[in-house]
Amino acid sequence: MKTILDKDPFTGLTEWFNYDPVADEVTVYSEQKEADLKRFLDHTERVRNDPEISRQGIKNSFWKYATLPPIVQVELRNKGIDIFNPGHTKALLREINAAYPHTKLTTKIHR
């Protein structure tokens, strides 16, 4: 039996609960609609392709490197990377560069 646990109307992220009585298994998972992700990724691409935004950010000592949609935040958490833990910054940057480059707001690489 599949049931919605939570749905964020702003991001489109939906948390699901599913119980399979035949296998007696419970699954909790997240999904985000493709249309919501497309809008998000179109925005990151526009920003990434405008070098002035990165240059101004670096000049003003603030460089926004990436914007992570909620579904990516969940995937990172499942990989053991806490995006809010400063101790995970290197692992986070490595994972963004390797697996989520489309979330980057710059063409530059931060290591």
Kindly report, residue by residue over 42-68, the tens digit of the pLDDT.
888 888 888 787 777 667 767 788 999
Q: Which helix (H) or strand (E) holds 7?
A: strand 2-7
DSSP per-residue codes, 9-61: TTT-EEEEEEEETTTTEEEEEEEE-HHHHHHHHHHHHHHHT-HHHHHHHHHTT
Cα 12 to Cα 2: distance, rounded to the nearest angstrom: 18
107 contact partners, CB below 8 Å, separation of at least 6? 48, 51, 54
Cα 98 to Cα 85: distance, rounded to the nearest angstrom: 19
Q: What is the pLDDT of residue 57?
A: 67
For the cut 80, the answer to whether the pLDDT of residue 97 exceeds it is yes
Give the residue-averaged pLDDT of 4-17: 86
Most confident of 43-47, 99-103, 105-109: 99-103
Q: What is the pLDDT of residue 1?
A: 81
Give the residue-averaged pLDDT of 17-46: 87
Contact 104, 65 (CB under 8 A): yes
**Amino acid identity for residue 40 in this structure:** F
